[in-house]
Amino acid sequence: MSHDKPIAVAVIHGMGSQGDRRPAADEITFSKGLHAELGNTLDAAEWNRVAYREIFWADLLQERQETYLGDIRKTGARWMWLRDFVMHRLTDAAAYRQTYYTKLDLSRSDRSSFV
């Protein structure tokens, strides 16, 4: 099977923490299984036509999430295990949406003020 155009595969991480640091642009972390399976399925010529990247964005929310949890922990909030689950698993998915700012070409430092 041949392709006339290069193939782009973009993998966006799911719910939960994907680590404490943003990986390098060409580093494969949370989608190693998919990456390996595609590499094994396609022949070498096809695989060389694939641009494969992971999209990591959880770190844009992580600091605010941790600050919020720390603040409410100090007030004696209960059910912290549930609050932690919601904050680290569900809010990432809920926060993912296209906004006016996602259409702009902003540096990471500029974007963080809009998140």
What are the residue ranges spanned by the domains of the chain? 1-56, 59-115
As given in the structure block, the two tokens for residue 19 are 């680590």
When mean pLDDT is compared across 1-10, 68-77, 96-105, the lowest value belongs to 96-105
Q: What are phi and psi of 53, to 5 degrees?
A: -140, 145
- pLDDT tens for 23-59 read 787 889 889 999 999 999 999 999 988 989 888 777 7
Measure Cα distances from 34 to 4, 29, 30, 71, 91 in Å.
23, 11, 9, 38, 25
User: pTM for the whole thing?
Assistant: 0.56
